[in-house]
């Protein structure tokens, strides 16, 4: 599994896709929180807060994460190397885990340069250091869980097709629906108390909760459960080749 994980990391970093993902994420996020005049712009809002980064990042992840995961299994199928990979002395679960962790590692690498924003906001505060670190680190943790959830969805979508574009087209809307769909349904007042329960099924509710800096085990369990559901679904897809 470790060898496959390293191979996947190297494939990201030896091709344009990894650098494009990191570059596009950092450039667009940087423009929105430092350059473009909008509510997420730190200088425009006059607040020593990185909430703008996290608000922008969740939208970027909706499209960028499916873009990096669309190749995980679809490319293997297209090249005809999946069967060769599955015959190696490594279980299906280990293959899925290696590809999942490699994509997650790339996402974490993309987030690392944003720590410069933390230092900048720390020094821009009045007085310097006037920043809510609890909320900041909670939001980073929320972003990692959010990214991991989208990656599991993207890996699943990639496993059911041999076309990378189709994998992207399947994953991106599915991520969008799971993130915003339940919040949209909650807006219908006719649902009454049932509406709030439906809201708690959505990713946005738990992402917002963990971003407040309070680590609730219910939010952790939710994200881990969604990730496992899609990774297990991916394994079922791989096992279906034997049926």
pLDDT of residue 106: 93
pLDDT of residue 241: 67
DSSP assignment of 209-226 equals HHTTT---HHHHHHHHHH
ω into 127 cis (within 30 of 0): yes
Considering its fold, how many domains does the chain have in total?
1
Supply the pTM of this predicted model: 0.91
pLDDT of residue 158: 92
Residue 97, C-beta contacts closer than 8 angstroms, at least 6 positions apart: 1, 231
Rounded CA separation 52/8 (Å): 32
pLDDT tens string, the chain, 243 residues long: the values are 778 888 888 888 888 888 889 999 999 988 888 777 777 677 676 666 777 788 889 899 999 999 999 988 888 887 877 777 767 778 888 889 999 999 999 999 999 999 888 888 778 766 766 677 778 888 899 999 999 999 999 999 999 988 999 999 999 999 999 888 767 666 666 666 676 677 778 888 888 888 877 778 888 999 999 999 999 999 998 888 665
For residue 10, the enclosing domain spans 2-242
């Amino acid at each position: 599994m470790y060898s496959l994980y390293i191979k996947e990391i190297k494939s990201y970093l030896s091709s344009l896709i990894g650098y494009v993902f990191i570059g596009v994420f950092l450039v667009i996020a940087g423009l929105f929180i430092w350059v473009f005049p909008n509510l997420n712009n730190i200088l425009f809002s006059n607040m020593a807060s990185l909430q703008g980064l996290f608000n922008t990042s969740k939208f970027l992840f909706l499209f960028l994460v499916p873009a990096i995961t669309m190749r995980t299994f679809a490319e293997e199928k297209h090249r005809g190397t999946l069967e060769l990979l599955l015959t190696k002395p490594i279980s299906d679960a280990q293959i899925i885990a290696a590809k999942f962790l490699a994509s997650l590692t790339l996402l974490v690498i993309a987030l690392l340069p944003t720590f410069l924003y933390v230092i900048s906001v720390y020094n821009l505060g009045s007085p310097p250091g006037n920043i809510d670190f609890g909320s900041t680190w909670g939001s980073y943790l929320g972003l990692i869980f959010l990214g991991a959830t989208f990656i599991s969805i993207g890996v699943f979508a990639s496993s059911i097709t041999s076309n990378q574009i189709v994998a992207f087209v399947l994953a991106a809307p599915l991520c969008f629906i799971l993130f915003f769909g339940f919040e949209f349904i909650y807006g219908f007042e006719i649902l009454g108390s049932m509406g709030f329960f439906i809201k708690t099924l959505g990713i946005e509710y738990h992402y917002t909760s963990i971003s407040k800096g309070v680590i609730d085990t219910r939010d952790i369990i939710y994200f881990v459960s969604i990730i496992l559901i899609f990774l297990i679904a991916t394994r079922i897809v791989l096992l279906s080749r034997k049926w």
